[in-house]
Amino acid sequence: MIGALIIELLTSLITARLKHLKREIYLVRNVVVVIGYVVISLIALAMFEVTGVSVLAGATVSGLVIGLGLQLILANFFAGLIILETGFLRPGASVKISDGIPLSVVSFPAYKMFSLNEFMSTLRGVVVEVNLMHTKILSESGELVNIPNMAFNNSVIIEKKKEPKTMRVRYEFSVQYDPDTVLKKIREELDKNNISEYKVYLEEQSDKNYYIVLLVATAPSNMKVRDFRSEILKHIIKVHRMLIQQAWNITRSIIAV
């Protein structure tokens, strides 16, 4: 009876001190209650002079059963405590989350094996809520994703502090197009559209049929990097289409002769 009163008093104090956890406080309360009654049971067994061997055997069996049954729950619970204590995931943070190292070589199509392109398999979004069992992330596609806290133990988490204004665009051209002509046409197209802070290079040959043009540019302060990248890519595609049309016109004139 006294033990039950002590447990009730302790849980009331915990509930009052941790009320900011909202619904999760009941999970903490239940864990404290279970631990409290386990301690009381051990004390009662000692008072009735139950042998230590019997207690140890019973505790071992009970511990195995409870541990196996609550393995995932306890793993999420303690991972949640670590996340809340360290604060490495906070509501409002913009993050990228990946299972393991988030880089892999692009191997398809085949000629990409010669390229420096990389694929980042990640979940991108904003942390909405962190609780003791799950973390809620609003993805860029608008989906609310509930991730078990223990999943972060084996994940790479990249927090986006500030969007860099300098971006890179890599584009492949066929070797049938003269590189000097390609670079010249790209510069003319960008200059014509008042894009000034950029540099364009012939970066590498991806295989025997393609070479890669690299464009490094700085986005204007009033434009998002993603929108600016889209604008740059649009102009490069225009140049590519123009070169294709010119090549076709030359071929057609030769055939006509």
Instruction: Give the alpha-carbon dihedral of 36, 40, 45, 48, to 10 degrees.
Output: 180
pLDDT given at position 191: 92
Express each pLDDT in 16-44 by its tens digit.
776 666 656 666 676 777 777 777 777 77
Question: For residue 91, what is the DSSP state?
Answer: T
CATH class of segment(s) 166-256: alpha beta
Cα–Cα dist 36/56, whole Å = 18
Give the dihedral of Cα atoms 45, 46, 52, 57; nearest 10 deg: 20
pLDDT higher than threshold 80 for residue 105: no
Longest dimension (CA), the chain: 112
Residue (of 117, 199, 142) closest to 166 by Cα position: 199
Q: What is the pLDDT of residue 111?
A: 47
Q: How deeply is 254 buried, as exposed, middle or buried, from its count of CB atoms within 10 A (0-12, 13-18, 19+)?
A: exposed
Q: So what's the pLDDT on residue 189? A: 93
Q: What pLDDT, on a 0 to 100 scale, did the predictor assign at position 114?
A: 45
Taking the domains of the chain in order of start, what are their residue ranges?
2-69, 89-159, 166-256
Q: What's the confidence (pLDDT) of residue 32?
A: 75
Residues 6+ away with beta carbon under 8 Å from 130: 80, 83, 84, 89, 90, 91, 136
pTM of the entire structure?
Answer: 0.44
Angle, vertex CA 24, rays to CA 132 and CA 38, nearest 5: 90
pLDDT in tens, 120-176: 567 888 888 887 788 888 888 888 888 888 887 777 676 666 656 788 899 999 999
Supply angle C-alpha 210, 215, 220, rounded to 5.
155
Assigned token pair, 51: 């042998």
Contacts of 75 (CB under 8 A, 6+ apart): 149, 150
> Could you tell me the two tokens for 233?
């890519």
What is the average pLDDT value for the chain, to the nearest integer? 77
Report the side by side order of strands in the sheet with 123-130: 144-148, 134-139, 123-130, 94-99, 155-159
* CATH level 3 topology of 89-159: SH3 type barrels. (2.30.30)
Residue 217 pairs in a beta bridge with 167, 198
CA distance 44 to 62: 17
- Band (pLDDT 50/70/90 cuts) for residue 117 is very low
Cα separation, 228 vs 196, whole angstroms: 13
